[in-house]
Each structure stands twice: as structure tokens, then as C-alpha cells.
């Protein structure tokens, strides 16, 4: 599938005032600096460019001096790797010295700084990531990346096996970039090499795997790419379990405009709460991510065993107990399944909570209310509040003053 590239959008990068100032300062006097990587790729595709990275022939110390002389602020964000962040009128740009790989071990490379844009480009992973743009508007392409970009194809630079052995995470990046930028089937050489070198994924940290997987799940063609991963034996290893493609597809259709990685992972891989625990260990999820998966699993279990249809009153209770975000995720994933049955008014009610038109009810009692009525501080306070909360949920989460007073009196009557 061949599509035209947007060279006008590419050249418009050079019209950005802060970026042009940076390039004008960082070029000349025997040095050259270019826009590289994702900014060039996305501009040619007509996609938004939010971050701009540059490569330069200068060493980090020279970059800092030149930035300072121009009145730019510089931050040594990765100076040991040759990267500084230069801030021009409030806008940050990462500028990295050209590099040459000296040694690779499948996880990280030992590099030396260089002055050759060709060698720097050829050490990158994919041809579409090796493009660069000069201050004069010339597009530099040493690996036929523009042709691959036009064909909507993700292809390793040079020998795919060699590129992967330099950093096995490139297997994950191959599938992620395919999901985001390619059309049709994955590049045959890249797919074959990924399969042959898959053992190398085991030496990578779980955090690096997790980072790439979550980004893949929200990519443009995530559904099709997950099917490829499953068909070639990758997905079971990545999830340490089974995948639920139907729920993932419904989630992706529901949140296409603003996809949330953790909810897509929930739809794909979480059927019971033990799945959430397994994913935490397998992917080193954060506490917040695990909490969301576990909440998804608990609500899913409750809704799948529910006999009565969900109506507006039930939605009011559910958003109060589980939160709008979790309820929205579960209902999106199970939409169209035999259970739960959801009537039209329930979806309308959920949308009102989601938009903020209706506030989520807040439990009206506090421990201080009981203490003020003579209940001593201690475990009994917690027991009464827990009982009151369950009664409040069952009665529709009323928040008016009269209902709160009645609930308090009923709890006091049990003392």
C-alpha cells in the first residue's frame, strides 16, 4: 500500500521559531545539527509532531557551551549518553551527539561519540526511524526509509537478526511500530528474525517488556497485530496466559479516540482477579495499575453473575462503589455478551456521570458523626460505618440531609 508523503509538513518543521533558532545556533563553525527520528517520520506521514529530537556532530560539552552563549538553558538529562535537553523560549529539545556502537549484548550498547550521520543512521533499528532533516531543508535518507514509509512498511536496517541481537527489545518495537505505522502483513524478514531470536526476550527486564506492550495495546492496528503475535506464539508468553480478543476488540472500538493502556490490558488478559495478580508479577505493574486490574476483575465477576438487568438506579450504585472509569471499562469490554443485560437508561445514566453532568454520590456519614452522638472511638465505629455503607448502597445512595439523618439514627439504634 503506497501513499504519498507530506514534504510540505516536513519543511514546516523548519518554520517553528524555537526549533529554527536552535538549529541556527547549533549549525556552523564546523558543526552540523539535524532534526532526526520520530519528528521527521511523523511529519512526512502528516501526523502531529509534539516532540523534536536532534542529532549533532558536537560533543556534549560543546553543546552546553553553545547553548549557554546563545542564552538557552540546557539540562544534562542524559549527558553520559551524549544527550542534553536544550530549552529555547520554554520549549524543550533533546539534542544527542552522533554515536557509533562499540559493543552490544542484547540489552544495551557501549557507544562512542562520532561525527558521521551515515554511521549513526545505520545503527538505528528501522529504516523509517533513520531519516534526518537539515536546516537547509534537505531530507537525508541512507536506508531507503522514505520508500518504506511511503509503502507503510516497517523494516529493520540491514540484517534483521543482527539488529535484534544488538537489543532484543527490538522484537517488541518491531510489532509496536508495525501496529502504529504499517499496513498489511508484517515485513517477512523482520517477522522471521523476531521468531528465530525470541529467546532473547527472556534476558530483558520485565519493565522494558511492559513499557512496549502497553504502548502496542493502544497503537492504531493493535487488534490485527495482537492476532499476529498470537499466531506466532508471542502473545501467550507476553501475557503468561490466555487472551480475550472479543473483549479487547470491543474495548478498542469504545475508547478509540482516547485509549487507556491499562484498561485495554484488562480487557485482553483479565478474566478473574488472579489474572490481575499474575500480570503484576509478570509485567512488574505499578501498584496503581494492579489496583485497576483487580478492580476490573471484581466488578466483572459481579456483573457476569447478575440476574437483574442494569438500570439507572443500579448504575448509580455501581459508579459509587466501583468508580465511573472502572464501570465504563467493564461495560465496554462485555458489551453484546449475554450478561449483564443493560437497558438504554443505564447507558444514559452512565454517560451523565462520565460527562460530569451528574455528580457521583458521596457517602454522607463519617466516624465523627457517630462520635458526636456518644459512640466511643474504637472498632465499633468502623463496624457501624461499614454496615451503614452497605445499607446506603442498597437503598440507592441517597445524599439528601433527611436520608443521611435517618441512616444515622438507624445505626445508633443498633448500639
With pLDDT > 90 as the criterion, what percentage of the chain qualifies? 88
Looking at per-residue pLDDT, the higher value among 101 and 378 belongs to: 378
* pLDDT at residue 3 in the model: 78
Q: Is the pLDDT of residue 354 over 80?
A: yes
Residue 384, all three cell numbers: 457501624
Confidence bin at 100 (pLDDT 50/70/90): confident
Position 9 scores a pLDDT of 97
pLDDT band with cut points at 50, 70 and 90 for residue 80: confident
**Lowest-confidence range among 123-137, 288-302, 359-373?**
359-373
**Average pLDDT score over the chain:** 94
Cell of 327: 464501570
Structurally, at CATH architecture level, domain 1-157 sits in: 2-Layer Sandwich (3.30)
**What average pLDDT does this structure show over 23-42?**
96
Give me the pLDDT at residue 293, please.
98
Banded model confidence at residue 81, pLDDT cuts 50, 70, 90: confident
pLDDT of 197 above 90:
yes
Could you tell me the residue ranges of all domains in the chain? Answer: 1-157, 220-360, 367-412
Amino acid at each position: 500500500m503506497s501513499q504519498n508523503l507530506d514534504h510540505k509538513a516536513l519543511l514546516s518543521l523548519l518554520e517553528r521559531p524555537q526549533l529554527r533558532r536552535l538549529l541556527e545556533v547549533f549549525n556552523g563553525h564546523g558543526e552540523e545539527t539535524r532534526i532526526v527520528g520520530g519528528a521527521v517520520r511523523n511529519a512526512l506521514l502528516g501526523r502531529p509532531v509534539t516532540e523534536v529530537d536532534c542529532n549533532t556532530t558536537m560533543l556534549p560539552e560543546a553543546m552546553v557551551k553553545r547553548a549557554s552563549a546563545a542564552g538557552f538553558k540546557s539540562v544534562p538529562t542524559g549527558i553520559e549518553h551524549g544527550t542534553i535537553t536544550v530549552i529555547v523560549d520554554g520549549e524543550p529539545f533533546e539534542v544527542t551527539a552522533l554515536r557509533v556502537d562499540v559493543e552490544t549484548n542484547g540489552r544495551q550498547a557501549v557507544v562512542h561519540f562520532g561525527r558521521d550521520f551515515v554511521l549513526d543512521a545505520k545503527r538505528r533499528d528501522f529504516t523509517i526511524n533513520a531519516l534526518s532533516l537539515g536546516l537547509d531543508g534537505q531530507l537525508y535518507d541512507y536506508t531507503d526509509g522514505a520508500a518504506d514509509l511511503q509503502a507503510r512498511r516497517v523494516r529493520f536496517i540491514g540484517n534483521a537478526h543482527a539488529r535484534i541481537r544488538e537489543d532484543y527489545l527490538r522484537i517488541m518495537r518491531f510489532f509496536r511500530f508495525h501496529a502504529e505505522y504499517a499496513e498489511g502483513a508484517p515485513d517477512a524478514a523482520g517477522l522471521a528474525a523476531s521468531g528465530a531470536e525470541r529467546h532473547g526476550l527472556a534476558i530483558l527486564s520485565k519493565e522494558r517488556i511492559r513499557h512496549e506492550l502497553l504502548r502496542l495495546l493502544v497503537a492504531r492496528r493493535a487488534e490485527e497485530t495482537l492476532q499476529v503475535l498470537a499466531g506466532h506464539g508471542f502473545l501467550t508468553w507476553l501475557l503468561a496466559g490466555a487472551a480475550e480478543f472479543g473483549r479487547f476488540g470491543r474495548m478498542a472500538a469504545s475508547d478509540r479516540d482516547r485509549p487507556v493502556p491499562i484498561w485495554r490490558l484488562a480487557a485482553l488478559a483479565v478474566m478473574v482477579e488472579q489474572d490481575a495478580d499474575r500480570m503484576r508479577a509478570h509485567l512488574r505493574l505499578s501498584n496503581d495499575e494492579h489496583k485497576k486490574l483487580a478492580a476490573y476483575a471484581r466488578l466483572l465477576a459481579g456483573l457476569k453473575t447478575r440476574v437483574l438487568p442494569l438500570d439507572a438506579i443500579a448504575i448509580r450504585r455501581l459508579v459509587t462503589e466501583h468508580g465511573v472509569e472502572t464501570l465504563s471499562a467493564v461495560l465496554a469490554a462485555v458489551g453484546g455478551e449475554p450478561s449483564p443485560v443493560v437497558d438504554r437508561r443505564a447507558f444514559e445514566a452512565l454517560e451523565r456521570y462520565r460527562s460530569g453532568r451528574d455528580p457521583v454520590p458521596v457517602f454522607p456519614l463519617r466516624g465523627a458523626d457517630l462520635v458526636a452522638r456518644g459512640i466511643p472511638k474504637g472498632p465499633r465505629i468502623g463496624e457501624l460505618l461499614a454496615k451503614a455503607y452497605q445499607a446506603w448502597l442498597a437503598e440507592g445512595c441517597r445524599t439528601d440531609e433527611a436520608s443521611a439523618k435517618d441512616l444515622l439514627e438507624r445505626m445508633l439504634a443498633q448500639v
